[in-house]
Chains A and B, each alone.
Chain A
Amino acid sequence: MNGPVPRRGTAPRTVVVGAGLAGLVSAILLRRHGHQVVLVAKGLGGLQLSQGTIDVLGRLDGRLVDDPWAAFDELPDSHPYRRIGVEAVRRGVDVLAGLLGPDLLAPVGERNQLYPTAVGALRPTLVVPPSMAAGAARDGRRIVIVGIDQVKDFHPELVAGNLARTELPGGGRLQVRHASIDLGARPGEVDSSPVVYARALDQAHTREKFVRAVKAVAEPGEVIGLPAVLGVDDPLAWADLQQRIGQPVFEIALQPPSVPGMRFNQALLAHTRRERVRTMLGAEVIGLVNEGSTVTGVRVQTAGGERTIGCDHVVHAPGGFESGALAVDSHNRVSETIFGLPVTATDATELIHGDYWGAPQPLFEVGVRVDDQMRVLDDRGRAMYANLYAAGGILAGAIRWREKSGEGIALGSAVKAVDAITAGEDRP
């Protein structure tokens, strides 16, 4: 049973590799086009590690970008956005907004805004969840950052201090002070993970104490900044809390586990279940089966041995260095570890500088090159296979967390790959 598995019916079958933003969105879109979709992922994707915002392009050459769409033209030709294009990224963002709905995502604007981080920096992004919207930095805004003693990874004094001393790009400052409350998530618990805290606040009956504690430290006219623990399964927990507190509140994403990212992840996984994406979680993709320049199957390592999944197309969205899809070995050789695809640089020696805290390592721009249909290219710039597409963190040419472009690249490339795969098919 190791040959490509044929299948019932005539619907084309696509295998999607990876359960990050790029893989999940590709899989859902392909189902909507009537494809049979098998999504194979070694583990959960990176959304829970993200800020829970949609970054399209926040920084360019060290400066803040105001209008991300207008800045695409300034990017070098090697940047993935030059292949993807503004239109596909816009569509990708709209698709995600549709999937998450207004409870999880505020309306998509045209300009970046700055929002506070868990260390009190200001970070540009295009779209935020409604629970973060009141945190947008505006001159003169009065803010109180409220910590929770039991949530150890959030230091209100640090956040408030750094915010207060930051001059806003358009001039002016925030007026920020800090406070904290002492309220355990569960009886006797002195150290709660953000997720445990958020689950406690999912329960309407536990909210009353929280509301009282926050009200006791807030002053009239202040906007209240809290660590992002305001419910995880109930998307409107934060709104209920805000209403009961009677003042605007906003969430600040923490280091992993990120509750806002987890809300996105849960919502997208629920869509994949509803759409009957066949998800093989905990299975590792280890290779391809091909006939000439056509991929006919994907080899998967799972409990009990190898299986081959026959397919008509592959969307390869396994992330980058963080997820192990790209790696540097002890001889400084860079490789794509899953299909052995060509990468933009194979020798890491020149790409890692010794200044650990200095500029981002150029290594992180290494990845797989694609054409404008997202087909993976070989060393000579030709499509390696007619039906192998790549999306998300595996694409070369961007240092995502410096530019703040990770979600935009993932969404835009997913849309482009799905466009190419379904071109010529009858739209449902």
Chain B
Amino acid sequence: MTDDLNHARDELMRASLDHCVKCTICETQCPVARVTPLFPGPKFVGPQAERFRHGESVDESLDYCSGCGICTHVCPQGVKIAELNIMAKAVMKADQPPPVMKGLRDQVISRTTVMGKAMTPVAPVANAALGIGLLRKAVEKVVGVASGAPMPTARTETLRAWLRRRPAPPAATREPIVFFHGCAGGYFEVETSKRTIEVLEHLGFQVLVPKQGCCGLAQQSNGLFENARTSVLDLCDALRSVGKELTIVSSSGSCTGMLKHEAHHILGVDDPRLLDVGARIRETSEFLLELFESGEVLPEFRRVEATIPYHQPCQVKAQGMGMPALTLMEMVPGVRVVESGQPCCGIAGTYGLKEEKYDIAQAVGKPVFEMVKATNPDLATCDTETCRWQIEKGSGVRTVHPIELLHFALGLSDDLPL
């Protein structure tokens, strides 16, 4: 047992269990328990089963918990149910290692940077390969990534290459800020990163983009705590390297959550570097809304007549900041946002990629897909990359980060179907 898992064991022992008053509120909101009898629900696998674990794994149904965090989000007593489950899952994995190939899969899908780096130079080939049914089927059989699961589209140009190539940005009129793009934002969702940088620069900021690695979230949710801890602290060093007082902004909703609270609560990282970064980081919409409401900057949006479906990912909900993206998009004259009202799209990081969870993840996401299709067949919005892939796959509707709508409304682009 490694030190990292010892932390998980210790925390499990003295966790917030006794705060649970058995109100069952978490049970009623868990998206996985809603769609499958295989999973008995958060109160049972969380605070209730925990009493019997004594550091040992007792119940395998725990593996069906997606780690979406909705239970923690709604618990009125502050019980960290999802965090308990993720820690207990890591312990379970260490006690009963999964079959070799599934273990390998969990390693691969949680190494987002590696996947991105490996796929970029061969993007057209990688895209074709991931799109080919037979090949995907073979992959499913061998390593257990479901053949229907959404997969990222690799881009021909990384964010760094674009930053090197593009003409110099306009002279800054405001303070410098740091941009954290996340692995997806560096390799797959490059457009989201570019447009965030352009919006921030348009508003007068000098945007610093230090060379940066992965936050370790996917490793954490696949129980690879040791790797996750190293990743997150390396990232903190990178983000701190360009300035220790600056605000950090990120369009990667779930990775922002990792830095704000998950690495601290789940991995037990108490390192002052993490706490510093966690306190300075803002999700893009959160940052812009604070900025616009302060009255310091008044954005000049053009009129956009559109009804925009919006789904806030579970991992963004968990940050307890409300829905700044919704308020922000509705500051654009003519825009009306329809919110999904759903807890989770099903993917929950890498959960919905796994063959044995695929059907559950699709069932969880179904109401989101239907709402998107019914609201606007051309365009939807969502703050996290894996969720966008899931929603696009499930609904057939192009799904972008809310920043793309703002970019359009500020007149910086014209290529959205609006």
CB distance from B302 to the nearest CB of A (A): 18
1/0 per residue A32-62: CB within 8 Å of B?
A: 0000001001111110110000000000000
Which of A1, A42, A257, A280 contacts B321 (CB under 8 A)?
Answer: A280
Which of B25, B294, B318, B339 contacts A43 (CB under 8 A)?
Answer: B25
Neighbouring A residues of B28 by C-beta, 8 Å:
48, 193, 195, 257, 262
Contact A193 B25 (CB under 8 A): no
Q: Is A427's beta carbon under 8 Å from chain B? A: no
Pick the interface stretch among B73-81, B130-138, B148-156, B400-408.
B73-81
Q: Is A217's beta carbon under 8 Å from chain B? A: no
Q: Is A188's beta carbon under 8 Å from chain B? A: yes
1/0 per residue B308-344: CB within 8 Å of A?
A: 0000000001111111000100100000000101000
Contact B76 A45 (CB under 8 A): yes
Q: Is B100's beta carbon under 8 Å from chain A? A: no
Pick the interface stretch among A5-13, A89-97, A375-383, A398-406.
A5-13
Q: Is B41's beta carbon under 8 Å from chain A? A: yes
Contact A282 B73 (CB under 8 A): yes
Neighbouring B residues of A304 by C-beta, 8 Å:
259-261, 278-279, 281, 319
Q: Is B271's beta carbon under 8 Å from chain A? A: no
A44-B25, A303-B260, A303-B318 given as contacts; is B327 within 8 A of A278 (CB)?
yes
Interface residues on chain A, size class = 35 or more
Contact B77 A281 (CB under 8 A): no
Bound-complex Cα distance A425 to B293 (A): 23
Q: Is B104's beta carbon under 8 Å from chain A? A: no
CB distance from B182 to the nearest CB of A (A): 16
Q: Which chain A residues numbered 265 to 314 have a C-beta less than 8 Å away from chain B? A: 270, 273, 276, 278-284, 302-305, 307
Contact B319 A303 (CB under 8 A): yes
CB distance from B17 to the nearest CB of A (A): 16
Q: Is A186's beta carbon under 8 Å from chain B? A: yes
Contact A324 B77 (CB under 8 A): yes
Contact B27 A279 (CB under 8 A): no
Q: Which chain A residues numbered 177 to 221 have a C-beta less than 8 Å away from chain B? A: 186-189, 193, 195-196, 199
Q: Which chain B residues numbered 75 to 114 have a C-beta less than 8 Å away from chain A? A: 75-78
Neighbouring B residues of A44 by C-beta, 8 Å:
25, 29, 74, 76
A43-B74, A43-B77, A303-B321 given as contacts; is B27 within 8 A of A193 (CB)?
yes
Contact B73 A273 (CB under 8 A): no
CB distance from A216 to the nearest CB of B (A): 25
Bound-complex Cα distance A196 to B27 (A): 10
Q: Is A329's beta carbon under 8 Å from chain B? A: no
CB distance from B333 to the nearest CB of A (A): 14
Neighbouring B residues of A74 by C-beta, 8 Å:
none
**Which residue on chain B has the smallest CB distance to residue A280?**
B322
Contact A7 B293 (CB under 8 A): yes
Q: Is A322's beta carbon under 8 Å from chain B? A: yes
Bound-complex Cα distance A165 to B348 (A): 53
Bound-complex Cα distance A360 to B257 (A): 44
Q: Is B295's beta carbon under 8 Å from chain A? A: yes
Neighbouring B residues of A323 by C-beta, 8 Å:
76
CB distance from A149 to the nearest CB of B (A): 16
Q: Is B171's beta carbon under 8 Å from chain A? A: no
Neighbouring A residues of B22 by C-beta, 8 Å:
256
A7-B293, A45-B76 given as contacts; is B25 within 8 A of A302 (CB)?
no
Neighbouring A residues of B76 by C-beta, 8 Å:
41-46, 323-324
Contact A278 B261 (CB under 8 A): no
A273-B341, A279-B322, A282-B73 given as contacts; is B41 within 8 A of A1 (CB)?
no
Which of A46, A188, A256, A303 contacts B261 (CB under 8 A)?
Answer: A303
Q: Which chain A residues numbered 228 to 259 have a C-beta less than 8 Å away from chain B? A: 256-257
A6-B295, A278-B322, A304-B281 given as contacts; is B341 within 8 A of A270 (CB)?
yes
Q: Which chain A residues numbered 130 to 185 have a C-beta less than 8 Å away from chain B? A: none
A48-B28, A303-B261, A305-B278 given as contacts; is B78 within 8 A of A281 (CB)?
no
Which of B27, B72, B339 contacts A282 (CB under 8 A)?
Answer: B72
Bound-complex Cα distance A46 to B21 (A): 12
Contact A280 B290 (CB under 8 A): no
Contact B261 A281 (CB under 8 A): no
Neighbouring B residues of A283 by C-beta, 8 Å:
320-322
Q: Is B37's beta carbon under 8 Å from chain A? A: yes
CB distance from B19 to the nearest CB of A (A): 8
Q: A residues within 8 Å of B by Cβ?
A: 1, 5-8, 38, 41-46, 48-49, 186-189, 193, 195-196, 199, 256-257, 262, 270, 273, 276, 278-284, 302-305, 307, 322-324
Q: B residues within 8 Å of A by Cβ?
A: 21-25, 27-29, 33-34, 37, 41, 72-78, 247, 257, 259-261, 278-279, 281, 290, 292-295, 298, 317-323, 327, 330, 339, 341
Q: Apart from A42-B76, A303-B318, what 5 extra A-B contacts exist at CB < 8 Å?
A: A199-B34, A257-B25, A281-B74, A282-B320, A324-B78
A-B pairs with beta carbons under 8 Å apart, 11 shown: A38-B322, A46-B76, A257-B24, A273-B339, A273-B341, A278-B327, A280-B320, A303-B260, A303-B318, A303-B321, A305-B260
